[in-house]
């Protein structure tokens, strides 16, 4: 008889050793990847090198989540407010994201990852738009983890765009409901995040998935994003599983 543990991969075994219930994992993890620039500055490097290191971290975390059995991973790659940064950094980020979208596509496709985007993507450089569109189309039929890149994304802007859509549809004010707004967000088929991860010790939402994360559990680590690894991912899941999710109701202890 085959031992069920023999069918587990390394990260599943590590998770189990920490007491994580593999049958009660968060379905959707969202990540605010913070601290790339500070990580670089501490090492006397330019900020863009911190972003490059953060890109390597993202590859590892995506594969970890995929191997664990997480169904959805959404990451905050570039906010609508990030345009305020120095032009050199913005241009470097756009080029880095485009290169990553092209270079990592084979790996994502081989690992059955389905690629999605969220945000006002029509406003980013055309080359990046093309790379993202190619990734979405190439992986459309994949059935593994859904990886969503939030780029030129703002939570408030997403709600504004949803409301504009309802107005264009001629929806009467009395018909507007939470369900109707949710159905007109960027990716209405993706469930709300169960767990929100933020790195570099910051204790704020920063306009990320503000509608969808109303009842997300929050895990904050002092580690900057380039330092984030499997141990921090599993620690966040441990904390998630140790909490009682009430959704506004009263739950007996």
Which residues are catalytically annotated? 34, 82
Burial of 128 (0-12, 13-18, 19+ CB in 10 A): buried
Separation CA 202–CA 64 (nearest Å): 23
Burial of 233 (0-12, 13-18, 19+ CB in 10 A): buried
Element at 44 (helix H, strand E): none
Q: Are 191 and 213 in contact (CB under 8 A)?
A: no
Of 193, 203, 225, the residue nearest 61 (C-alpha): 225
Tell me the three state secondary structure of residue 192: coil
Separation CA 40–CA 51 (nearest Å): 8
Six-digit token pair at 218? Answer: 């929050």
Tell me the three state secondary structure of residue 217: strand
**How far, rounded to the nearest angstrom, does the alpha carbon of residue 233 sit from its chain's CA centroid?**
13
Buried b (16+ CB within 10 A) or exposed e, 30-58: bbbbbbbbebbeeeeeebbbbbbbbbebb
- SS3 percent helix, strand, coil of the chain, rounded to 5, is 45, 15, 40
């Amino acid at each position: 008889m085959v031992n069920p543990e023999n069918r587990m991969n390394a990260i599943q075994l590590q998770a189990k050793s920490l007491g994580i219930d593999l049958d009660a994992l968060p379905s959707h993890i969202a990540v605010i990847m913070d601290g790339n620039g500070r990580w670089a500055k501490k090492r006397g490097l330019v900020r863009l090198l911190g972003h490059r290191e953060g890109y390597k971290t993202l590859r590892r975390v995506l594969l970890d989540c995929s191997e664990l059995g997480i169904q959805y991973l959404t990451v905050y790659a570039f906010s609508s407010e990030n345009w305020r940064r120095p032009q050199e950094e913005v241009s470097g980020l756009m080029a880095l994201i485009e290169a990553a979208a092209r270079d990592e596509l084979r790996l994502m496709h081989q690992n059955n990852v389905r690629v999605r985007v969220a945000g006002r993507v029509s406003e980013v450089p055309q080359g990046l738009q093309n790379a993202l569109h190619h990734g979405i189309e190439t992986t459309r039929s994949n059935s593994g983890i859904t990886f969503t890149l939030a780029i030129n994304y703002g939570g408030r802007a997403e709600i504004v765009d949803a409301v504009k859509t309802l107005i264009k549809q001629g929806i009467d004010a009395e018909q507007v409901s939470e369900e109707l707004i949710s159905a007109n967000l960027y990716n209405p088929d993706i469930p709300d995040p169960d767990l929100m991860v933020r790195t570099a010790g910051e204790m704020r939402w920063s306009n990320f998935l503000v509608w969808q994360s109303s009842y997300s559990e929050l895990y904050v680590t002092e580690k900057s994003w380039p330092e984030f690894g499997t141990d921090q991912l599993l620690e966040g899941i441990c904390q998630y599983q140790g909490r009682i999710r009430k959704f506004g109701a009263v739950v007996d202890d």
